[in-house]
């Protein structure tokens, strides 16, 4: 039985986890940096502890300090949210050593999936299609150049560890590869403590579609259908929706079956996501596995009625899934947009003071904010300040409601990407569902710059 949970995170996801814990009558403990001492999530938690200075390596990435506070607060479990320590097998292992339940998969499984190179190898063994690319991690630009000759340009250079688009870049030739390798390896080393890189063939006109899975400790694995996350900037998602209107029922069946088989092959437990790239002929290829709750999980919750965070906690407590696949069906269509403190044209972060924020209050609009009133947005963390999730009877209804909701959304004092989201919601290409991972680069940026 889990009665007290420490949330090893901040902002929107910390607030999200606290809400579900309260519904489950679970006591919550928040940790916060000096920059977050007045943050909304600290006011929502039952207990709060200062963890350190603003910089992440001194606060939200300080595993030893977090576990020390967890022991002091006598918690039963730690929920890592997403980002920070959420995919650190070392942190999960430290929790296990301390006798604290880690709300996520086992450290050994996280270690396998934490290396994208190893994950590719394991997926191939499990019979899941993978994108042509390097089989082993690359330590030098020279190794990358040799591998690129076999793969052929364009190529996607990626960090073996981490996510969020960090350490990732499309390269078109040898010269670009040499320049990109060193800078991205250095960035990956800084963010993830691992500078290993690998290469994948760049798929043109691809869609980013992922399958949400839940797995308990008794071998039961289910999926909550798929999400289309193709609209991205800097290789980071901006708009997500569920279900995908691009794939056929047969592709959906094969893709969800592949995701479940992969989870079973790994003996995976808790919530996870198998991400795929899908070409214009609906061929799908394994991209990566996220061993945590994802930013876009609400769209899956909206179409299935299942609280993913609640299931995470119950699975971590040793409970079996109380639903089977036949109990799960889709209801309507959901779209999530991420509101970032950033310039809507250059995508550069826009820290500063928010003097006012106004949310749409329609019953079809689910607001998941990190801030609810006047607040300072610092440069220390990811610039996402809120998420807006819309549920409609079908995709067109959801888009119409999204457009209306965005018209009433206000953030005063800093630049945000709200103009970008409004543009997308009204764009015919988006409305027709003809979006790929190249949408922002090929359609949004040229049209905005032309105005």
Which of 2-6, 76-80, 130-134 is the least confident region? 130-134
330 domain residue, yes or no = yes
137 domain residue, yes or no = yes
9 domain residue, yes or no = yes
What's the confidence (pLDDT) of residue 125? 87
Confirm whether 187 is a catalytic residue. Answer: no
224 and 302 assigned to the same domain:
yes
Q: Which tokens sit at 345?
A: 């044209």
Catalytic choice (16, 120, 207, 292): 292
308 domain residue, yes or no = yes
Confidence of residue 118 (pLDDT cuts 50, 70, 90): confident
Non-local (6+) Cβ contacts of 377 within 8 A are 341, 350, 351, 352, 353, 354, 371, 383, 385, 414
- Mean pLDDT score of the chain, rounded to an integer? 94
258 and 393 assigned to the same domain:
yes
Cis peptide before 70 (omega within 30 of 0): no
150 and 193 assigned to the same domain:
yes
pLDDT(192) > 80: no
What's the confidence (pLDDT) of residue 196? 86
Which carries the bigger pLDDT value, residue 9 or residue 163? 9
Please state the domain count of the chain: 3
Task: Measure the CA dihedral 433/405/298/328, to 10°.
Answer: -70
170 and 221 assigned to the same domain:
no
22 and 59 assigned to the same domain:
yes
319 and 402 assigned to the same domain:
yes
Which of 172, 201, 230 is the endpoint of a domain?
201
96 domain residue, yes or no = yes
What's the confidence (pLDDT) of residue 2? 97
| 219-233 confidence digits (pLDDT tens) | 999 999 999 999 999
What's the confidence (pLDDT) of residue 451? 66
| 256-275 confidence digits (pLDDT tens) | 999 999 999 899 999 999 99
387 and 287 assigned to the same domain:
yes
Task: Please give the C-alpha separations between residue 108 and each of 29, 79, 114, 425, in angstroms, as whole numbers.
Answer: 26, 18, 10, 42
What's the confidence (pLDDT) of residue 162? 66
97 and 159 assigned to the same domain:
no
| 277-298 confidence digits (pLDDT tens) | 999 999 999 988 999 999 999 9
Confidence of residue 240 (pLDDT cuts 50, 70, 90): very high
Which of 141, 174, 201 is the endpoint of a domain?
201
242 domain residue, yes or no = yes
Q: How far apart are CA 147 and CA 177, in angstroms?
A: 11
145 and 272 assigned to the same domain:
no
Q: Which residue, 431, 427, 428, 234, is CA-closest to 338?
A: 234
308 and 237 assigned to the same domain:
yes
Which carries the bigger pLDDT value, residue 87 or residue 360? 360
For the entire predicted model, the pTM comes to 0.91
23 and 51 assigned to the same domain:
yes
Q: Which residue, 335, 334, 338, is CA-closest to 387?
A: 338
280 and 390 assigned to the same domain:
yes
Structural domain for 83, as ranges: 4-103
Which of 87, 103, 119 is the endpoint of a domain?
103
What's the confidence (pLDDT) of residue 164? 67
| 401-437 confidence digits (pLDDT tens) | 999 999 999 999 999 999 999 999 999 999 999 999 9
Q: Exposed e or buried b for every residue in 392-415, given b needs 16+ CB within 10 A? A: beebeebbebbbebbeebebebbb
């Amino acid at each position: 039985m889990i009665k007290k949970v420490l949330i090893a995170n901040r902002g929107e996801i910390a607030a999200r986890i606290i809400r579900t814990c309260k519904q489950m009558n679970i006591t919550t403990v928040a940790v916060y940096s000096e920059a977050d001492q007045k943050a909304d999530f600290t006011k929502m938690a039952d207990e709060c502890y200062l963890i350190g200075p603003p910089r992440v390596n001194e606060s939200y990435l300080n595993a030893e300090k977090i576990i020390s506070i967890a022991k002091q607060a006598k918690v039963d479990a730690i929920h890592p949210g997403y980002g920070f320590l959420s995919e650190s097998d070392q942190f999960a292992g430290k929790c296990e050593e301390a006798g604290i339940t880690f709300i996520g998969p086992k450290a050994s499984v996280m270690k396998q999936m934490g290396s994208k190179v190893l994950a590719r190898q394991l997926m191939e063994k499990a019979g899941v299609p993978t994108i042509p690319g390097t089989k082993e991690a690359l330590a030098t630009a020279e190794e990358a150049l040799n591998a690129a000759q076999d793969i052929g340009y364009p190529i996607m250079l990626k960090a073996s560890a981490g996510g969020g688009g960090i350490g990732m870049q499309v390269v078109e030739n040898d010269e670009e590869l040499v320049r990109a390798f060193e800078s991205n390896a250095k960035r990956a080393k800084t963010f993830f403590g691992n500078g290993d890189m690998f290469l994948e063939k760049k798929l043109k006109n691809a869609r980013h579609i992922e399958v949400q899975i839940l797995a308990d400790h008794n071998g039961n694995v289910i999926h909550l259908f798929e999400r289309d996350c193709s609209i991205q900037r800097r290789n980071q998602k901006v708009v997500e929706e569920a279900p995908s209107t691009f794939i056929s029922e047969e592709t959906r069946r094969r893709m969800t079956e592949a995701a479940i088989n992969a989870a079973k092959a790994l003996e995976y437990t808790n919530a996870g996501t198998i991400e795929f790239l899908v070409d214009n002929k609906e061929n799908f290829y394994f991209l990566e596995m996220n061993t945590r709750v994802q930013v876009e999980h609400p769209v899956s919750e909206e179409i299935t009625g299942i609280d993913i965070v609640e299931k995470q906690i119950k699975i971590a407590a040793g409970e079996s899934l109380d639903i089977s696949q036949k109990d799960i069906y889709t209801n309507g269509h959901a779209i999530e947009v991420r509101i970032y403190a950033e310039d809507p044209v250059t995508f550069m972060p826009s820290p500063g003071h928010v003097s006012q924020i106004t949310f749409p209050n329609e019953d079809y609009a689910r607001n998941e904010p990190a801030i609810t009133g006047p607040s300072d947005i610092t440069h220390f963390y990811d610039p996402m300040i809120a998420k807006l999730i819309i549920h409609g009877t079908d995709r067109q209804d959801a888009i119409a409601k999204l457009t209306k909701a965005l018209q009433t959304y206000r953030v005063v004092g800093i630049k945000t990407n709200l103009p970008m989201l409004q543009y997308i919601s009204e764009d015919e290409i988006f409305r027709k569902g003809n979006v790929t991972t190249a949408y922002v680069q090929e359609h949004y940026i040229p049209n905005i710059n032309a105005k």
